[in-house]
Chain A
Amino acid sequence: MATSISSPSSSTPLSPIQLSVIQRKRRSNLFSAAGIVSILIALMTLIALVLQLFIQGLPKLNWQFLTSFADPEASLAGVLAALVGSCLVMLVTAATAVPVGIGAGLYLEEYVTRNKFSALIEINVTNLAGVPSIVYGLLALGLFKYYFSLGESILTAGLTLALLVLPVVIVATRESVRAIPSSLREATYAMGASKSQMVFDHLLPYAFGNILTGVIIGLSRAIGETAPLVTIGALTFIAFLPESPIQSSFPFISFEWLKAPFTVLPIQMFNWVSRPESEFQVNAAAAGIVLLSLTLMMNSIAIYLRYRIQKSLKW
């Protein structure tokens, strides 16, 4: 760009304006390069992080690692208890945060009458999203563990993380419901539907895909959260699995697992990372690969879903 201006007049001296144009264009291109460099820094960090994990952890990552319990002997230790714990905790989190979050989102978007009280709720939702996760851990420690006497159980952990996911679900619900045009609401009312019929039979199905995307992103954050679970005192040495939710005898479903002590992947990784022996750091890297794969998988499902929805839904 700059050369096309300067080349024909290379024999004659450039006017001050031409010089200024060349200079300004050069600066602009320079900034463009700085932008690419910044993105590369971010990308390089991501690549370095993944490479570091894989170089250190991949040799350790095998079937035995995934199916063994934690062990004082680094070479024998595995992540079975942590993997199962993470899944069960996420189950509790999803089962509590999703209905409450969707309900709250629907209320704030469709039902609320604008007054001081609704403004208070709004401020609360935005503030809760900014509260550091460790504070939720302190809340859980004081409230769930001691006042409700739920102990260091899967239930406590799931509820704690549900508090973290709740604002994400609320925001996702509100945004996807808001995007639905009001003609749909009017058409539903014209057919004689009540408000709840309109909301649950018509708005919710249309908003479902976007809400699901938000829920998956929220859960992918929660599965990697460590700090709040450390605070409630999650154990790291667990050499047994919680009781299975599905039983062979009547009544076939058991909720005993909710009360079981647990560990989760990020805590197991934290525990291994903070040990000085390098064998345990290898374990930490391997656990990191498992954890990162889980979150990346969830994230890419969410990104893909959003891409599909953006393509198919046109109001």
Chain B
Amino acid sequence: MAVTEERLFGKAIKRREDPRFITGRGQYVDDVKLPGMTYAAFVRSPHAHARIKKVDAAAARKVAGVLAVYAGEDVQVGGLPCGWMLPGIKVPARPALAQGKVRYVGEPVAIVIGETPFAAKDGAEAVRVQYEALPGVADGKKAHAPGAPQLFDEIPKNQCFYWTIGDKASTDAAFASAATVVTQPLVNQRLIPNAIEPRACVASYAPGTGDLTLWVTSQNPHVHRLLMAAFVLAIPETKMRVISPDVGGGFGSKIFVYNEEVVVSWASRTLGRPVKWTAERRESFLNDAHGRDHVTEAAMAFDREGKITGLRVKTHANLGAYLSTFAPLIPSYLYGPLLSGVYKIPAIFCEVWGMLTNTAPVDAYRGAGRPEATYLLERTMDRAARQLRLDPVELRRRNFIPPFTDGTPYQTPVAFAYDSGDYAPALRRALELAGYEQARRDQAAARAKGRYIGIGVSTYIEACGPAPSAVAGSLGAGAGLWESGQVRVHPAGSVTVYTGSHSHGQGHETTFAQVVADQLGIPMEQVEVVHGDTAQIPFGMGTYGSRSACVGGSALVKCLDKIKEKGRKIAAHLLEAGEQDLDFKDGAWSVKGSPDRKKAWGEVALMAYLAHNIPQGMEPGLEATSFYDPVNFTFPFGAHVAVVEVDAETGAVKLVKYTAVDDVGRVINPMIVDGMVHGGIAQGVGQALWEHGVYGDDGQLLSATMMDYAMPKADGLPSYTTDRTVTPSPINPLGVKGAGETGTIASTPAVANAVIDALAPFGVTHLDLPLTPQKIWKAVAAAKR
């Protein structure tokens, strides 16, 4: 596909969505107010595991302003569906409100609808639920042990699935003949997403027409509509409109269909009035899908030259009490295939046990499987470097996959064929910016003075824009992985772009307008981008997996190709020239060699609608719809370097300097890409140093508020140094790869490696995340004893 001269692609253009946000005029779901609106509050389980003996709502119904109370089977809807089936998977039934048993703290048991938020909350407090407490289990590995409490009679040993990838025999052989074997047990701790906007929904059923409108904090409104209409509410999609207006961050947690929007939609239909629910932060902690939570044993085999010959991985993935919408996908196909990283590894074998526990469901969280794989690889590489007495940088260099940038993919032993890559230059640039050699000298000098500086490197690969649909289908997907786009040219030449991608901070209204205006040669002010409303846009898959630019953007390019082709035909007709004799530049078609003979974009658009003089047989109008199904994932990569200083007396870690060099392919708006990288880094540093969703052995969530769950703050982070290398993706017309998750994937191991490096004089070879002062102090104290 030809790319026209670029005036806007690649430019750091200020975001057009910002004026409404900086003036307080954003429109988030909680800002929706409708006539006759009622309010919902949920009664939630205080137990991790219990039988529900009785729900007594008599007192609640007498509370002033309470309209209705519904529990369990009252809500006549289907269960919440799971959208990814692995072979042999056992999927537990997940009712919208708990029936018979509760299986995690915070599971919704009843809903109370009131005329005011206070009435709903007073009513919820008055609902009396009798429970018979049962022993529970919160740990994914303990849940597998003989005698562990059983969540579901029909799922023995709490095991939903056992999944493998790679080749066991060749991996065993690699280990049998290894010169060195490095073993690394590690925990990838549970994280809680915490988008700053809590989840919310407003359902409004119109009894006169039977139409249901749902405003919901969703990253993918069409997927919400499909799953809710077809599987839960059993209504035609024509009777349901889902609107996701401004959404305040998602990070994966707003992909899934949750209990609350299902019950609220049903309640609106039942009562014939709009119903609103907005999560309190504690509810977000308890019921939003969590992330990560792997317990893993990894082992890497090396030959005498320090080259990796094999990788063996065994992971218990804690999935929580029920399978959230895409839960089975995350620790399987988004994890195992990443285990080759940027390294040439001839033999890999990975086993995963998908476990149910008495905890909140676990699903995709920024990176989703890829951070888990990368942390495993990069931590193990550092441990190997120490064992092999090699510099961690040198060990990585020795094992890099050689450059492949000519369109020939690199086939890993774990299914993926990478699109393009050149790993050494990104590492070289990162080390240069970080001043690696000098930092090592400073480190040695500081150690001599009793100061503990650590330097951590991570080189990573990411997989964006999961694809293609047919392969995903054969692997268990309940959805396609394409994206839709629609470009509608108006008679006076302005353009409305409808995208199936959804922006909840990514800035699509700006970047997609850049792409479209660029290719049509018209000013950006002539282009509007519409997203997040199923009544306006064609069926789309939404935004997750860093897919918007590479899949959603490509769908728009396909639309533009059709628009330009039709425009060219009209222009050629008006100019009485052959189509092939026209140039298209700066928003006008002109006859080659006679630039004065031309038709401007606006003239062609107008004629398409006037239809007074268009080629015979041509339909009037100028608009196009496309569905783009990529042939492969894209594979961004890069190298991050963290420098930390550890206070050996207190265990406190200071992140001194952070350098990131990422290759996300071609870049539409560098300002926006840098911003996403910054945010990703902070989230990954959060996992390395602070964040931990902690369940007690009794299944109580001990970190259920922002007082107890340590979010990254401004005063704990430095400014970051960022740069890029550019290796275009050969698989899509824009050459883009994806930038939404790279920072999170790379930064956790970089910082973890830096801290462990700082602690090397104490003989510390590994500590599980997060690397809190207490944990570090204990390790240092133990070493001193």
Q: A and B, one complex? A: no
* Chain A residues within CB distance 8 Å of chain B: none
* Chain B residues within CB distance 8 Å of chain A: none
